[in-house]
Amino acid sequence: MTESETPLLDLQGLKKEFMHRGSKLTVLKNLDFRVFKGDRVVIMGPSGAGKSTLLQVMGTLDSPSEGTMLFDGEDIFERSSKGLARFRNDQIGFVFQFHHLLPEFTALENVMMPGLIGRMDRQQAEDRAVKLLTQVGLEDRLQHQPGELSGGEQQRVAVARALFRKPRLLLADEPTGNLDPKTGAGIHATLRELNEETGVTVIVVTHDPRLAQTLPIRVLVDQGRLIPQQPGDPRLEGRIPAELMDCEPQDAGQKRLVEAIARQEAQDGTTAEVGA
């Protein structure tokens, strides 16, 4: 990141409200955050804090109630709904907790699907799908249907499918939420490799401190805003507002989570020199 670099995502004063049974629920408020090209970001926070809502807005699946989101400098919600759909298809890859693969198709067909829908040449689509499945370590599972794959393998197929159209941003909402720890770690390793090989920007929501500490840019959803997971973390400079750099999480559960991450880092000998 350099001073002059245009952020891939620049969220400014974002607010998101829902009307629920006649009363207003404010989930995100005054949220400012910048993500630079090639960043690997982890978002944590208690259940109901607004993590999924934020990812939906970042992926333009939902629009903010107020505020602006610039994508590579463009005010993206100024686009028509058709323009937004095209933008999403071209630029964003989604991976969810439950993979949403099509059960009656093979791994290969599932990954090719975005190409077939986009009327890409079949052979070309197949070649790309094989390449992606090889990248996620599934070259021996091309003809398996989802029901014939383990949970972790299914999730790797979902990652390959999300990358089919060469998105610039990969959004993953608890992608390892229903996997055992070892398989979850494998998915994170895959995301990291893809980030390093292709430069795709990755934003992940997870509850797992061991997985969180493998991502360098770490934020918490706290009272509708994003704050550092570790107050003063220099890796967040230029990404969150200066006045929030030393902000501590309000919630006791959050504090425990942050402590768990710090312990894990110390144990693994990967402690970042925070504040150094």
CA–CA dist 18, 24 (Å, integer): 6
E strand residue ranges, the chain? 9-20, 23-35, 40-44, 66-71, 74-75, 92-95, 169-173, 201-205, 217-222, 225-228
CB of 120 to ligand ADP, least distance (A): 33
> Could you tell which of ligand ADP, Mg ion, none binds residue 83, using a CB distance below 5 to 8 A set by kind?
none
Window 49-68: residues binding ligand ADP (CB under 6 A): 49-53
CB of 14 to Mg ion, least distance (A): 17
CA–CA dist 203, 218 (Å, integer): 10
CA 16, chain centre distance (Å) = 19
206 binds Mg ion (CB under 5 A): no
21 binds ligand ADP (CB under 6 A): no
20 binds ligand ADP (CB under 6 A): yes
Counting every residue written for the chain, the total comes to: 276
Closer of 52 and 223 to Mg ion (Cβ): 52
Closer of 51 and 156 to ligand ADP (Cβ): 51
Order the strands of the 225-228 sheet from edge to edge: 92-95, 169-173, 201-205, 40-44, 217-222, 225-228
146 binds ligand ADP (CB under 6 A): no
CB of 23 to Mg ion, least distance (A): 21
> Could you tell which of ligand ADP, Mg ion, none binds residue 45, using a CB distance below 5 to 8 A set by kind?
ligand ADP
CA–CA dist 29, 131 (Å, integer): 41
CA–CA dist 245, 79 (Å, integer): 33
CA atoms within 13 A on the CB side of 144: 15
Task: Give the x-and-dash track for 46-85 against Mg ion (CB under 5 A).
Answer: -----xx---------------------------------
CA–CA dist 24, 140 (Å, integer): 51
Nearest to 77 by CA among 55, 89, 33, 87: 87
Window 140-159: residues binding Mg ion (CB under 5 A): none
45 binds ligand ADP (CB under 6 A): yes
Closer of 46 and 241 to ligand ADP (Cβ): 46
Which residues of the shown chain bind Mg ion in the complex (CB under 5 A)?
51-52
Which residues of the shown chain bind ligand ADP in the complex (CB under 6 A)?
18, 20, 25, 27, 45, 47-53
